Amino acid sequence: MKKTLFIFLLVSSGWALPTQISCGSAHTCSLIDGEVKCWGWNQYGQTEVPPLTNPREIRLGGSLSCALDDEGVKCWGRFGVEALRQIPPLKNVREFKTGGLHTCAIDDEGVKCWGHNGFGQSEVPPLKNPRSLALGGLHTCALDATGVKCWGFNDFGQTKAPHLKNPKEISAGNVHSCALDEEGVKCWGYNEFGQLEAPVLKGPRQITSGSAHNCALDDEGVKCWGRNEDGQTRVPLLKNPFAISAGGDQSCALDETGVKCWGKQSE
């Protein structure tokens, strides 16, 4: 059964506010007061959080959930391929991201990827001081000292980054990619739903991509564009939003009241 999702997870006065939010295909996790809480579709156990020790980062992809805690990266939910369970040795993880069926991390030795590799999305090319990652359905992008580099499935040009002026942030959808640079948001790849056509943004500072839509946080709030048949780009009223995440056909934001999500959930 499919239904339109419009979740409000409000935080009352005196409670701790969530500090992170991440969306998968049809589930969401938030980090609040040192605890990971997940909700939504749970067919593969992706919302059943295992024991974690001081989790500090959460990332969702597809029907998989992952967290970084004092012991390293831990994942739960649908692995899809056995290789996803085989997390390589990691030293001082600085960032990690999860895609459709693969995961990548930046540690002291560079970028390491594991999981599905049918299109080379887990084969990391030479990178110079990588500082950020974005994982799509079957492709991977990294931001390093030379700019944005992408690899993996490329039938729609999603790994061919355009000219970018001092890119600061990257994101990836199913078969498209985006970057935030000095000139604004630029996207490339598949464009059937207008996901490459960013609206006018005023001082954008965050970009996030779902399956075929994107959201950006700018000086005026949250703006979303692209596929919208389930309302994933119809942003509700938000009070001073400070973080956003898009995944599948849903979008979420953190604001002064807590977590707000909109779009579709499957169950």
Q: How far apart are the first and last CA of the chain?
A: 6
pLDDT band at residue 54 under the 50/70/90 scheme: very high
Average pLDDT over residues 190-204: 98
CATH assignment of 2-266, given 1.20.120.450, 3.40.50.300, 2.130.10.30, 3.40.50.12780? 2.130.10.30
Q: What is the pLDDT of residue 16?
A: 75
Give the whole-number percent of the chain exceeding pLDDT 90: 90
For the beta carbon of residue 48, count every other beta carbon within 10 angstroms: 11
pLDDT band at residue 177 under the 50/70/90 scheme: very high
Average pLDDT over residues 231-246: 97
The candidate with the shortest Cα–Cα distance to 109, out of 125, 123, 130, is 130
Phi, psi of 178 (to 5 degrees): -140, 155
- Does residue 37 carry a pLDDT above 80? yes
- Does residue 4 carry a pLDDT above 50? no
pLDDT band at residue 15 under the 50/70/90 scheme: low
Q: What is the pLDDT of residue 30?
A: 96
pTM check: above 0.85: yes
Please state the domain extents for the chain: 2-266
Q: What is the pLDDT of residue 2?
A: 43
Average pLDDT over residues 167-183: 98
Is 205 in a helix, a strand, or coil?
A: coil
- Does residue 49 carry a pLDDT above 80? yes
Lowest mean pLDDT among 6-15, 80-89, 258-267: 6-15
Cα separations in angstroms, 253 against 8, 135, 221, 237, 262: 10, 20, 10, 11, 9
Q: What is the pLDDT of residue 7?
A: 47
- Does residue 12 carry a pLDDT above 90? no
